[in-house]
């Protein structure tokens, strides 16, 4: 066996161990002169000298600019010769952990200085290794280039990081132990022998933690490990060994090396128990934080949903009990409407954040009228501000191009969310302002800045970094009278990001807040003043519409609303009856079809497709409008793909439904 040991070059072990390091320097302690032994491409890209006369000055001068600003003071204070020598004398090594700035970004590294094993003790090895788990896979290391430094010394210095290191012949499976700690020796495993994999599996039957045995045995097979090495270049596996009855996490790493004497499998095992315990503790804290956030969210949601529901139920009972008092009934109905609107906003927020987190929300690009957006915002927020006696001002003097390419719905959603939020958190008598600015950009693309500034309660310094996180509020609803899911600003931030814009906030507690949104939008027009066109007055009087709806209550509500505008309404109980009614009534019988989606016998998609298959121009052009609670973007696309003309989500506003019908019936879209 000794002859076989001699066949294995020390260079194989050194190269295998060096693969864990960004860079290794060989230093003469007496003279401070150094030479680079090995370096990865990432490290070489930093452009540092490979040799020099003073390692301390070299490191402090060059590393100061390469180290993360937050870690520079620490590095300069501790990377001094006196500290290094003192640590080497007391502990045999010197280590530091800090962040270096690489092309990929900041990365945690560990600098380790170890004395060489030699009688004169005049040389040390400095190794810089990547300890950033997320970027570990990016490491790539070059072969040793300095022939003056013997491989054996480097290998011995690096071996201190491992419990044990074995060298295995991948053809014969003969093996020997290159190094091992006293702790590993206490396990009483073979130091050399034949048939490495079977010998290791027998040892693991008695040494491995019961909970890891089955997984280890399934993976630790020569054929499987060699296949992974051929594919990935290295093999790693974490499991627990039993030391004196206590499970200890270890990590095995296998690397296939080749030198003048052939291929060698280098297998190192190191103790990662402290690291795994820290990770476990971190994961437990994160799980506890998620559980706490979820519980807080559910508590807030329960309160916020029950509050408007209580109003709806309560005022419904009041309206019933005061049927002979029209004013009381009207007041109750208005409050029911207000509470319903708030309840709907809660549901919309939850649906929006769900779509965002599942990747189903999409941002479109089409003609967008900023002037119309501003007017709608004023209309929507006016009543909200009036109820609180707030002064709300709007300024857009520097906006020159109102017709742009963008997602009109999402831009409006962002601005309404921020303005409504400002009104919500601004006490009576204070002020809110929306400022829109246009700044020149490249070509037809201009930078639009929207600033919402209020003199409200402000945001605390502690909460400000979390303002755009989902399901968070500065206060619980149990003590805060302001309602809401805590999702509005999270949704806003996500939508702005999807539009490739930016959002920021600054605030002083007790003085107010200022939100700023920047969007780059392409102009569709020459510089023109904003002109408000008068809306055409249209009527649905005498029009006949088929309502395809299986829910009796929904059908009754839609019928009453439409009949108020002079529409004649026929109702079909499912999609099949709806299709047959249109077919049997013949061309010209109906001006439009309002189609529910989820129905028995035949759903809305199938019914619309069937209508489009009927022969004649009338059936091809008949407006079919989806009126459904399916309100996701993909639901709208599915409706259009099925041959429908448009989509309106339930619950709908009567004016919105009438306006949509008018646009298709009168324009013949």
Q: Which tens digits make up the pLDDT trace of 517-531?
A: 999 999 886 544 444
Q: Which two tokens stand for residue 634?
A: 């993909």
Rounded CA-CA distance 73/103 in Å is 22
Question: Virtual CA dihedral for 543, 549, 552, 556, nearest 10 degrees?
Answer: -20
Q: Give the pairing type, strands 624-628 and 568-572.
A: unpaired
Reported confidence tier of residue 606, pLDDT bands at 50, 70, 90: very high
- Mean model confidence pLDDT for the chain: 81
For residues 44 and 514, the model is more confident at 514
Report H helices in 52-209. Answer: 55-66, 72-78, 81-91, 151-158, 182-185, 196-207
Query: Which pTM does this prediction carry?
Result: 0.42
Percentage with pLDDT > 70 across the chain: 81
* Pick from 388, 592, 386: nearest CA to 482: 388
- Any idea where the domains of the chain sit in the sequence? 9-160, 162-271, 282-357, 366-523, 544-667
pLDDT, residue 13, reads 52
Instruction: Give the Cα separation of 142 and 151 in Å (integer).
Output: 14
9-160 and 366-523: identical CATH topology: no
Nearest residue to 108 (alpha-carbon basis) of 74, 84, 57, 82 = 74
User: First and final CA of the chain: distance in angstroms?
Assistant: 89
The whole-number pLDDT of residue 62 equals 82
Which range, of 88-97, 158-167, 207-216, averages the lowest pLDDT?
158-167
Here the tokens at position 24 are: 């290794």
> Is the pLDDT score of 362 beyond 60?
yes
When mean pLDDT is compared over 172-181, 184-193, 608-617, the highest value belongs to: 608-617
Rounded to an integer, the average pLDDT of 465-484 is: 56
Tokens of residue 567, six digits: 């529409």
Give pLDDT tens digits for 279-326: 888 888 888 877 776 776 666 667 667 767 777 888 888 888 888 888
Quick one: average pLDDT of 135-162? 45
Which CATH fold would you assign to the domain 544-667? Answer: Rossmann fold (3.40.50)
CB of 268 closer than 8 Å to CB of 253: yes
Distance CA 322, CA 332 (A): 10
Instruction: Pick one of 3.30.450.20, 3.10.50.40, 3.20.20.150, 3.40.50.300 as the CATH number of 9-160.
Output: 3.30.450.20
| Sheet with 646-649, side-by-side order of all strands | 568-572, 544-548, 592-595, 624-628, 646-649
Considering only the top CATH level, what class is 282-357? mainly alpha
Query: What is the second-level CATH architecture of the domain 366-523?
Result: 2-Layer Sandwich (3.30)
**What's the pLDDT score for residue 139?**
39
What's the 3-state SS for 274-338? Answer: HHHHHHHHHHHHHHHHHHHHHHHHHHHHHHHHHHHHHHHHHHHHHHHHCCCCHHHHHHHHHHHHH
Cα separations (Å) of 669 from 449, 604, 623, 624, 644?
35, 20, 8, 11, 11
Once rounded to an integer, what is the mean pLDDT over residues 206-212?
91
| CATH fit for domain 162-271, picks 3.30.450.20, 3.40.50.1370, 2.60.120.10, 3.30.1490.190 | 3.30.450.20
Q: Residue 14: which pLDDT band, with cuts at 50, 70 and 90?
A: low
Encode 328-367 in three state secondary structure: HHHHHHHHHHHHHHHHHHHHHHHHHHHHHHCCCCCCCCEE
């Amino acid at each position: 066996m000794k002859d076989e040991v001699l066949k294995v070059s020390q260079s194989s072990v050194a190269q295998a161990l060096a693969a864990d390091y960004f860079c290794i320097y060989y230093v003469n302690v007496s003279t401070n002169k150094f030479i680079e032994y090995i370096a990865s491409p990432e490290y070489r890209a930093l452009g540092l000298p490979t040799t020099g006369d003073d390692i301390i000055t070299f490191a402090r001068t060059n590393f100061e600019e390469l180290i993360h600003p937050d870690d520079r003071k620490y590095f300069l204070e501790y990377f001094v010769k006196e500290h290094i020598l003192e640590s080497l004398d007391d502990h045999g090594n010197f280590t530091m952990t800090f962040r270096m700035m690489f092309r990929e970004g900041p990365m945690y590294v560990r600098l380790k200085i170890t004395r060489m094993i030699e009688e004169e003790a005049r040389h040390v090895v400095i190794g810089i290794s990547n300890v950033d788990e997320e970027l570990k896979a990016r490491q790539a290391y070059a072969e040793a280039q300095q022939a003056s430094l013997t491989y054996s010394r480097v290998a011995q210095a690096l071996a201190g990081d491992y419990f044990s290191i074995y060298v295995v012949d991948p053809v014969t499976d003969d093996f020997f132990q290159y190094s091992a700690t006293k702790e590993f020796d206490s396990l009483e495993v073979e130091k050399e022998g034949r048939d490495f994999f079977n010998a290791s599996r027998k040892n693991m039957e008695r040494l491995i933690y019961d909970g890891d045995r089955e997984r280890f045995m399934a993976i630790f097979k020569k054929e499987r490990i060699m296949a992974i090495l051929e594919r990935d270049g290295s093999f790693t596996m974490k499991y627990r060994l039993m030391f004196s009855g206590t499970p200890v996490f270890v990590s095995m790493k296998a690397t296939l090396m080749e030198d003048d004497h052939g291929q060698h499998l280098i297998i190192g095992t190191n103790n990662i128990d402290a690291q795994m315990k820290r990770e476990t503790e971190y994961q437990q804290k994160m799980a506890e934080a998620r559980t706490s956030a979820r519980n807080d969210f559910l508590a807030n949601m329960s309160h916020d949903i029950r509050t408007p529901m209580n109003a709806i139920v309560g005022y419904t009972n009041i309206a019933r009990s005061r049927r002979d008092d029209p004013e009381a009934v009207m007041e109750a109905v208005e409050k029911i409407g207000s509470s319903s609107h708030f309840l709907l906003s809660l549901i919309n927020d939850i649906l929006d954040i769900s779509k965002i987190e599942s990747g189903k929300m999409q941002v479109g690009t089409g003609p967008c009228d900023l002037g119309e957006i501003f007017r709608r915002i004023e209309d929507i927020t006016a009543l909200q501000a009036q109820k609180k006696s707030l002064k709300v001002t709007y300024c857009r003097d520097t906006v020159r191009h109102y017709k742009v390419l963008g997602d009109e719905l999402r831009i409006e959603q962002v601005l309404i969310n921020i303005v409504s939020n400002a009104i919500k958190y601004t006490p009576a008598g204070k002020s809110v302002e929306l400022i829109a600015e246009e700044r020149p950009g490249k070509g037809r693309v201009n930078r639009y800045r929207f600033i919402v500034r209020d003199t409200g309660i402000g945001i605390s310094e502690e909460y400000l970094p979390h303002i755009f996180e989902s399901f968070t509020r500065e206060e619980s609803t149990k003590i805060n009278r302001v309602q809401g899911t805590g999702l509005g600003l999270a949704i806003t931030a996500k939508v702005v990001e999807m539009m490739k814009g930016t959002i920021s906030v600054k605030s002083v507690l007790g003085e107010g807040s200022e939100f700023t949104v920047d969007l780059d939008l392409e102009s569709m027009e020459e510089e023109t003043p904003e002109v408000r066109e008068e809306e055409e007055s249209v009527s649905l009087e005498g029009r006949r519409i088929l309502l395809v709806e299986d829910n009796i209550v929904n059908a009754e509500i839609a019928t009453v609303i439409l009949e108020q505008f002079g529409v004649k309404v026929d109702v079909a109980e499912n999609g099949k009856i709806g299709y047959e009614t249109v077919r049997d009534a013949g061309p010209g019988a109906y001006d439009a079809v309002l189609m529910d989606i989820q129905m028995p016998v035949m759903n809305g998609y199938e019914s619309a497709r069937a209508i489009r298959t009927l022969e004649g121009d009338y059936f091809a052009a008949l407006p079919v409008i989806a009126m459904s609670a399916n309100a996701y973007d993909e639901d709208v696309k599915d409706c259009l793909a099925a041959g429908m003309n448009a989509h309106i989500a339930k619950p709908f506003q009567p004016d919105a439904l009438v306006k949509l019908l008018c646009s298709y019936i009168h324009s013949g879209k």
